[in-house]
């Protein structure tokens, strides 16, 4: 299995499921511990959910599989979101979350553009620039 490299084909899917499990646990945990803050910032949290679901749904509709692009934009958005949770829940400072939502929207738009540009599913594409220059 290791010699053929087929093992590594499954890693992006595993990573995608790990991402989903992480996001769900953060969502449920924060709602449980800091429900007042979560309710106050709910429009931004709904935007984050939409930024996750819209590109994923488009990928499933177009390719029949969940996309595992792992773009640089999504990685930056995930780090910014994670970092924004500390000031939000420890000091009740919301602006870092709101900035990270903007980063997430840009990353989601890039994923939508990638889905529209690709003719078949790909994993770990980097950026839209990488996709356009491979074609």
pLDDT digits (tens, 9 = 90+) for 82-102: 999 999 999 999 999 999 999
How far, in Å, CA of 80 to CA of 100, rounded? 5
pLDDT at site 106: 98
Which pTM was predicted?
Answer: 0.79
How far is Cα 124 from Cα 54, in angstroms, rounded to an integer? 18
Predicted confidence at residue 86, as pLDDT, reads 95
Confidence at residue 50, expressed as pLDDT on a 0 to 100 scale: 94
Which stretches of the chain score pLDDT less than 50? 1-9
Torsion 85-36-31-60 (CA) sign: negative
One DSSP character per residue, 73-105 reads: HHHHHHHHHHHHHHHHHHH---HHHHHHHHHHH
Domain boundaries, the chain: 11-134
On whether the CB atoms of residues 94 and 88 are closer than 8 A, the answer is yes
């Amino acid at each position: 299995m290791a010699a053929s490299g087929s093992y590594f084909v499954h890693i992006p899917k595993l990573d995608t499921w790990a991402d989903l499990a992480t996001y769900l646990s953060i969502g449920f945990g924060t709602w449980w511990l800091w429900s007042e803050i979560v309710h106050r910032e709910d429009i931004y949290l709904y935007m984050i959910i939409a930024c996750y679901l819209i590109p994923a749904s488009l990928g499933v509709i177009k390719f029949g599989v969940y996309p595992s692009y792992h773009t640089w934009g999504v990685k930056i958005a995930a780090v910014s979101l994670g970092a924004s949770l500390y000031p939000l829940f420890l000091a009740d400072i919301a602006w870092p979350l709101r900035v990270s939502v903007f980063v997430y929207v840009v990353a989601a738009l890039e994923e939508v553009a990638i889905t529209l540009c690709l003719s078949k599913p790909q994993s770990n594409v980097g950026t839209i620039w990488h996709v356009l220059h491979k074609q």
